[in-house]
Amino acid sequence: MTFTLPSGATMPVPGFGTGTKWYKSGDPTIDRNVVDALVSALKVGYRHIDGAEVYGTEAEIGVAIKESGIPRDQIFVTGKIFPKIANPRAAFEETLKLMQLDYLDLYLIHAPFFDEKSHGISIETAWHILSELKSTGKIKDIGVSNFAIADLERLKDAKEKVAINQIEFNPYLQNQTPGIVDYCQKNGIIVEAYTPLIPLAPAAKGGPVDPVVNKLAAKYGRDPGQIILKWVIQRGILPVTTSANVARQKTNLDLDGFELTSEEVKEIDDAGSKKHFRSYWGHKYIP
């Protein structure tokens, strides 16, 4: 399955993240661990890097792309803006500079939690400025992250449509906010999943999807992570994962050659629905 953006560009699946373990906002020193993990990810075949201003790892992305020797046009690079949302043009230029790039494939408003009062800019104005940046050709596609339906509705009459909404999605959180996945899919907005593999991490392990995923892993001769990532993709959603472990980088990327049946997809849906687990924004979204 491929995901095609409004520009006609296709997004490689899965994406490789640069947040989670690696936040280091405010520290300008290049973190070799992050560079090495990214170079390794690019060498094993990832062609989609998920960055963000707030992770503080944009410079590491730039160094890793250069060190990998892979031509820029063969790598899909996402950036996200926040908290420097008050001046999107300046934030975008800083991101390009840190990443040593002259364009981004995708630029997202990282979260909807700002307004004129808190950050001196509204969602509508920020979106308008991103649209102008897109028209310069320095950004190929634009989108959002962590947006609920009400946030997306604010942009529904904008000239530039929202291409993508990157949200928390996994068997234990199938709707970050009520109805969001259905709404996006019905309105042609690609859904991108962060934390897809959290059911396997210590924080959420031992839940009701474990036996289903283990059974399917044995049936297909795959590992549990591959089963969950396949489930995400078969739900029509693009997963983004992170790992510094080369073996995991390889298995998380090796998703071809098998397909879950629709009954198996539903089995994971149903088992996952028996438990609720949220890693981010719990204080904003009351379940």
Q: What is the radius of gyration, based on Cα positions, of the chain? A: 18
Burial of 266 per CB tally in 10 Å (0-12, 13-18, 19+): exposed
Structure tokens of 6?
């409004």
Give dist(CA 31, CA 62) in Å, integer.
12
Binding of ligand NAI by 201 (CB under 6 A)? yes
Out of 40, 68, 95, 145, name the contact with ligand NAI by CB under 6 A.
145
Each residue 4-43 as x (binds ligand NAI by CB under 6 A) or -, in order, gives -------------xxxx-----------------------
User: N- to C-terminal Cα distance for the chain?
Assistant: 31
14 preceded by a cis bond (ω within 30 of 0): yes
119 in a labelled binding site = no
Binding of ligand LYFO2JCZ by 152 (CB under 6 A)? no
Out of 103, 220, 280, 285, name the contact with ligand LYFO2JCZ by CB under 6 A.
280
198 binds, among ligand NAI, ligand LYFO2JCZ, none (CB under 5 to 8 A by kind): ligand NAI
Nearest distance, CB of residue 203 and ligand LYFO2JCZ, angstroms: 15
Q: Name the maximum alpha-carbon separation found in the chain.
A: 54
Each residue 35-64 as x (binds ligand LYFO2JCZ by CB under 6 A) or -, in order, gives -----------------x-x----------
Q: At what angle do helices 88-99 and 123-135 cross, to 10 degrees?
A: 50
Give the residue numbers of the binding site for substrate.
110
